[in-house]
Structure 1
Amino acid sequence: MAYMRKMISIDEELCNGCGNCVPSCAEGALAIVDGKARLVKEQYCDGLGACLGDCPTGALKVIEREAEDFDPEAVAEHLKAQGREVPDHMPSPESLRLVPGPAHVSPVRPMGGCPGAAMRTMTPCERANIPSFRASGRAQGGGSALAHWPVQLRLVPPSAPFLRGADLLLTADCVPVALPAYHADFLPGRVVLMGCPKFDNQQEYVDKLAAIIAENDLKSITVMEMEVPCCSSMSAILAHAIKGVRGPANIRRVIVSLDGRILRTEPFNA
């Protein structure tokens, strides 16, 4: 049965057949056929776009269309047949289906005067604005380290005053929930932009980030993701966004485990 969901789309005119996208797809959904990248089977593609950042020509994008359900069991058999490693985590088919109605709306819809979308810079007392964390990583009182509003990437315009010359903290939505020390160790002194690379419109994020980077002379970018494959798309989105724009030299990637540990911090390779 076909469902509306996100899928990789390949522009054959832009594709040069380099093959960079093939190993970056953990599910083995892509292959080079007759000198061009091709989608092997719809059921192998989770539509999360981890391959976007590895395409040097911009031939790949994520679109919404009717497609066969993602099939983790078929993916596992496919990868084993190729002698490739099967991912520890794969999304369920149900989680990838796009449900019409209020839960599925355009990320660029007019906000209609919603007060939650109004830009705001907060300058509370420095001591009150830094949470106190002990070695256990548990909060021991103190306030929030957040210094601006809004924080959702889709709501922040490139002209927001708090972006100018900022140290940007690009965060997948689930990270602050999993990481106890997010406010204490990462948020102070940084401007945070959050989004879900799994359910939100990835191309909108690419375009928004490219404009933000081009217009604001950022000092640094820290991109934070969960260890699960769907969250790895945030760094892929950033990699796609910085192509053709002059970004900061200091960019790093932080991977967080499901149990709230920093698995690794590494230089970002676009």
Structure 2
Amino acid sequence: MKVTRKIIEIDEDRCDGCGNCVISCAEGALKIIDGKARVMSDNLCDGLGACIGECPQDALKIIERKADEFDEEAVAHHLEKQAAAKEKQTMPCGCPSTQILSFAAGDGCQSANMPKRQAKSDSALTHWPVQIRLIPPNAPFLKGADLLVVADCVPVAFPNLHCDYLDGKTVMVGCPKFDDAQSYIDKFADIFETAQIKSVTTMVMEVPCCSGLPMIVQKGMEKAGASVPHKQVTISTRGKVLEER
């Protein structure tokens, strides 16, 4: 039944598809489709506007219009389906990529002064796996770690990752645009609750879809009730450090 009520409206001209609003919607009513945020179904949106403050482009606002009534049962069913979909995406435990490994890092900067064509540096990586989805919160290499959370395009664009940022840190890699944001928030909350993380550095690309990653980490921290120093680094598409804050 349609009634006149408050509901979110999205200005597609302003929306850059960063996904921040998707992360902040507890009902799962929003989704990035074709690079734009969209309301999946009117009955999933409660019209309270928790997502508005997270939009850097001011693309969301609350309006009044005729819409299906907000349906809490539909929301519960929708969230259950999302949770079930996450479970199906989980890698089987026998997959080699899920095997927990720790090892000594090489000197990631040992050949910094060699000619480019001759340069040959060791990896500063000290553990495996590196994907956020695959790392369990109780992984031994997380205990008391300085955490480096990296959007997965960064290592391709930024040539000095190992030398300038990875050395001495535990790295976790993922995509804030295509991976499941809520599962990441829950994962980081579990990590902050159990692993006594010392510090966090998030590294993202300058593109809008990357901007959700620091928020995901911050929301995980807030959910765990933890307070950990958090530095954010932005890399340009040409592989330069644009900002550290």
Aligned partners of 1:236, 1:52: CA distance in 2, in Å? 11
* TM-score normalised per structure 1: 0.62
Aligned partners of 2:132, 2:18: CA distance in 1, in Å? 17
Aligned partners of 2:216, 2:36: CA distance in 1, in Å? 24
| Alignment-derived partner of residue 109 in structure 2 | 131
Q: Is the 8 A contact 1:107 1:201 kept in 2?
A: no
Q: Is the 8 A contact 1:168 1:221 kept in 2?
A: yes
Select the residue among 121, 128, 137 that pairs with 1:142.
121
Select the residue among 211, 214, 220 that pairs with 2:190.
211
| Alignment-derived partner of residue 225 in structure 1 | 204
Q: Is the 8 A contact 1:62 1:203 kept in 2?
A: no
Matched, 1:155 2:125: no
- The RMSD of aligned alpha carbons is 3.5
Aligned partners of 2:224, 2:86: CA distance in 1, in Å? 29
Gaps of 5+ in 1: 1-32, 73-83, 87-103
| Alignment-derived partner of residue 195 in structure 1 | 174
| Alignment-derived partner of residue 119 in structure 1 | 100
Q: Is the 8 A contact 1:145 1:187 kept in 2?
A: yes
Shift of 1:115: 1.1
More helix per residue: 1 or 2? 2
Aligned partners of 1:40, 1:51: CA distance in 2, in Å? 10
Aligned partners of 1:159, 1:220: CA distance in 2, in Å? 17
Letter in 1 for 2:204: E
Aligned partners of 2:119, 2:100: CA distance in 1, in Å? 29
Aligned partners of 2:21, 2:113: CA distance in 1, in Å? 38
Q: Is the 8 A contact 2:14 2:58 kept in 1?
A: no
SS in 2 for 1:244: helix
Q: How does 1:1-270 map to 2 (within 5 A)?
A: 38-40=8-10, 48-51=18-21, 59=26, 61=28, 69-70=34-35, 108-123=89-104, 128-132=106-110, 134=112, 140-266=119-245
Letter in 2 for 1:251: H
Shift of 1:180: 0.8
SS in 1 for 2:183: helix
Shift of 1:254: 0.2
Q: 1:62 to 1:191 in 2, by over 3 A?
A: farther
* TM-score normalised per structure 2: 0.68
SS in 2 for 1:51: helix
Q: Is the 8 A contact 2:21 2:30 kept in 1?
A: no
